[in-house]
A and B are shown apart, each in its own frame.
Chain A
């Protein structure tokens, strides 16, 4: 009772025949064992395209044996009867070592020669625990041959690149943090540049200079970052400054509490940062003219948020240098948190109760300063009515800071927005008062280094990273600043080096400079 027609594949059977019958046999081919190889669909494995496929059992006897097997088996350095003794010792502790079975090792599958993909097939257990699996193939005479499947192997690609070891990964991780810290450096620099040029010049020119100083600080690792980022971050800067000074008076009371809650809050901040869009909007309106990405799409936003933390960091440091107290820093953190809070609150209803205590002083403060901030924002933010006051707030801050800082451009942001309340006016006044203060203190840092792009800070950073010769150091800067004459560069460099006084060491006849990273 074979099938009516010669059918080479199951699909071929014609639609006309309503019932087809196939004989099933189970050939007893003891020599062959059938196994399943399973690939994830994402790997796009197409068996039909395979050529030159090699497969073998992995030989991992070395790993199996362990580490002490590097001892010679005979000759110099070998011990008589070591294996036996080791085995006996293990047995005493109840460890019975298993034999290495080469036929139980995973498969290594190489597709497409040397450069092709490599897979490792690990046996899976439990697949045929409660059921048996057969593979049905067509025999030559139209019957079906059923072969039992023995094992299932899950094939996964082997990565060809080397993963970092724990130490290396640690090092890289540390470097990651450093990258963030570069921003703090940059901001410090920028502020210096700004302030040095401040006061005497009129706003527009200053703006130019500020941006120039910014460019000067460009460093190779983050060129593209800076370009995308510095404008908006600059505006953030300004705003943060405002806020800091704004809440500065109230801070002292809350110090203790803030310190206690700081850790926890910080973590939450990070978690919520991504989804805020309220405060984002406020920031971007600050300088519309020079921000190229006022319609922030989400990717760049996430990116920016990340740096946002660093920037605030930088600002914090900078301001802390004025007051020189740690608690002050914590206060600032607290303030940032407060800024975030309003937008968070929608999501955070659940955890709100726990925070209530902490929020209290904030609320009091906010009420006094302006009712536009957090409390009003507890409403769902999607309504434009809620957003508006926010914008207006940032807006009129701009208007005020414009007198001291850049911002012909600020005027381009909307001027016709409603509600300049009395409270806001008070805040603004405070801002105006405060915004003049910091510059008075900052210029103690010499602006002359920052010319032609060579800054003490940058040099320090290079040297702290790894020892360098002076020529290497110079090329670092030369590559960035093409406009500056090399003589001038060398001159400034020598000045800076004198100032830094790095550790000198001779390696291979060259003098390498370095500084101990603190």
Chain B
């Protein structure tokens, strides 16, 4: 969601239908998570085996499916199939899971609303631990090797690398000159027309820099200044230093609405 304003309807209500459900929080190694991310949603990615022997704590095991194990890019290491899951309880904090559904396409005619669901309370934490077997050690040694490889390496160059060649005139300079010459010299417009433009501009904002006004009216700066001196004040001091504002008698901003009509008359007179 990149829209800054709350354009899609955001439902602030948290959907509590699943609140009572107990869920498990499972910590898995990254290499498993990577595989699972790639796996399609409909296949079985693994099996969870809970074996209970009377008088003992239940043993939880995770074994990945063959389909997942085979999901690998060339050059990737095998990952261990079997994992042990250590079960622990959530202590000293209460953990919940909520989900945040974002609409898939915001351009739809009736935009789906963002929705928040409570997904349940975490009742147990499981930590996935690999058995220290050969495949696991291979995987680890490979990852260590990769990590220890320096990011940058030395290369020998057989000739000078020239990044850029000298240019007599850069392209953007040429463009700029072209554009300017196409515009031609700024011609002095009719004074009324300029004043209208100025008043229109000052309707939007109170303070303007002369450069901005020059851009807006497209008048030569000398001429513009002449006109500005008639109808505007130049601020020399700080909150709005070096900026022009209309003389009080020409202003009719919201706060001075009462005097608006009169001032308008005045301004037309002075024109």
Give residues in A with beta carbon < 8 Å to B. 1, 9-11, 13, 15, 17-41, 43, 45-48, 50-56, 74-81, 100, 102-103, 109, 130-137, 143-144, 146-149
In the assembled complex, the Cα of A95 lies from the Cα of B172 at a distance in Å of 26
A-side interface mostly: strand
Q: Is B116 an interface residue (CB 8 A)?
A: yes
The answer, among B49, B93, B118, B205, for a CB contact under 8 Å with A19, is: B49
In chain B between 57 and 74, which residues have their CB closer than 8 angstroms to a CB of chain A?
Answer: 62
Min Cβ gap A474→B in Å is 50
**Shortest Cβ distance from B37 into chain A, in angstroms?**
7
> Is B40 positioned at the interface, with any CB of A under 8 Å from its CB?
yes
Instruction: Check: B259 CB closer than 8 A to any chain A CB.
Output: no
Given A41-B92, A56-B12, output 14 extra A-B contacts at Cβ < 8 Å.
A19-B50, A21-B50, A24-B47, A31-B102, A35-B97, A37-B98, A41-B91, A50-B118, A53-B118, A54-B12, A100-B4, A135-B25, A135-B119, A137-B119
Determine whether the beta carbon of A38 is less than 8 Å from that of B205: no
Q: Which of A76, A132, A143, A149 contacts B206 (CB 8 A)?
A: A76
* Chain B residues whose CB sits within 8 angstroms of the CB of A80 once the complex forms: 201, 204-205, 207-209, 212
Residues of chain B contacted by A132 (CB below 8 angstroms): 27-30, 32-33
Determine whether the beta carbon of A56 is less than 8 Å from that of B10: yes
Interface segment among B16-24, B132-140, B156-164, B185-193: the answer is B16-24
A78 with B28: CB separation less than 8 A? no
**A75 neighbours in B (Cβ, 8 Å):** 204-206, 253-254
In the assembled complex, the CB of B268 is this many whole angstroms from the nearest CB of chain A, namely 21
Chain B contact residues, CB within 8 Å of chain A: 1, 4, 10, 12-14, 16, 19-30, 32-33, 36-37, 39-54, 62, 91-104, 116-124, 126, 201, 204-209, 212, 240, 243, 253-255
* Residue numbers in B under 8 Å from A26 (CB-CB): 36-37, 39, 41, 45
Residues of B within 8 A of A23 (CB): 44, 47
Question: What is the distance, in angstroms, from B224's C-beta to the closest C-beta of chain A?
Answer: 14
- Measured between alpha carbons, how far is A76 from B24 in the docked complex, in Å? 59
B176 CB → nearest A CB, Å: 19
A32 to B120, CA, bound (A): 14
Whole-angstrom distance from the CB of A23 to the nearest CB of chain B?
Answer: 5
CB of A128 to closest CB in B, whole Å: 9
Q: Which residues of A contact B20 (CB under 8 A)?
A: 47-48
Within the assembled complex, what's the spacing in Å between the Cα atoms of A132 and B43? 20
Cα–Cα, bound, A38→B42 (Å) = 30
Cross-chain contact B47 with A28 (CB below 8 angstroms): no
B46 x A148 contact (CB < 8 A): no
Q: B3's closest neighbor in chain A, by CB?
A: A102
Among candidates A30, A41, A79, residue contacting B240 with C-beta atoms closer than 8 Å: A79
Closest to B54 in A: A15
Output the least CB separation between B187 and chain A (Å). 24
The answer to whether A33 and B102 have CB atoms under 8 Å apart is yes
Chain B: minimal CB distance from A106 (Å): 13
Question: With a CB–CB cut-off of 8 A, which chain A residues contact B102?
Answer: 31, 33
Q: Which residues of chain B have C-beta atoms less than 8 A from A54's C-beta? A: 12-14
In the docked arrangement, what's the CA distance between A102 and B94, Å? 27
Do A40 and B50 touch (CB < 8 A)?
A: no
Q: How far is the CA of A17 from the CA of B58 in the complex (A)?
A: 11
Q: Tell me the smallest distance from the CB of B144 to a CB of chain A, in Å.
A: 14
Distance (whole angstroms) from the CB of A45 to the closest CB of chain B: 5
Contact A47 B121 (CB under 8 A): yes
Alpha-carbon separation in the docked complex, A79 to B244 (Å) = 10
Nearest chain-B residue to A134 (Cβ)?
B26
Q: Is the CB of A53 within 8 A of B48?
A: no
With CB as the reference atom, state the residue of chain A lying closest to B49.
A21
